[in-house]
Amino acid sequence: MSAHTDRYENAVARYFEAWNAAGPEARAKAVAAAWTPDGRYTDPLADVTGHEQIGAVITAAREQFPGFAFRLTGRVDGHHDTARFSWELVSGTDGAAPVAGSDVVTLDAEGRIRSVLGFLDRVPQGA
């Protein structure tokens, strides 16, 4: 059980590294480490495939919320090649977390993300 739990937690840690990477070069490297080349990211605001498009979605979110970081809330739960977890977007200035969601990821045999199905649980009005 522990080996599987580590697999899910490691994949989610790489996912957050990509979302929190500072700068285009670090972000591209983190996306490549987290996702398969044909990886897909889908949430209510985006449906993209491949490292370049995933990186663009992350960049857009970072530009919309400068000074914020994504962090895990709760624990990572998984079975087979699927894991789920919840997250929030937290201000580095005052600790406010105006955005929160839950994601379900599917992993390949090496633990890289093949797909993300994201759900937004809390979004500020007008965002």
Report the pLDDT value the prediction gives residue 35, as an integer from 0 to 100. 98
Kindly tell me if the per-residue pLDDT of 47 is higher than 70: yes
Q: CA 98 from chain center: how many Å? A: 16
In this prediction, residue 111 has a pLDDT band, given cuts at 50, 70 and 90, of very high
| Distance from C-alpha of 50 to C-alpha of 39, rounded to nearest angstrom | 5
Q: Give the residue from 88, 79, 92, 75 showing the smallest Cα distance to 12.
A: 75
Residue 36 has pLDDT above 90, yes or no: yes
Q: Quickly list H helices, 35-93.
A: 51-64
Calculate mean pLDDT across residues 57-78. Answer: 96
Output the six-digit token pair for 79.
């079975």
- pLDDT tier at 125 (50, 70, 90 boundaries)? confident
Mean pLDDT, rounded, for 36-62: 97
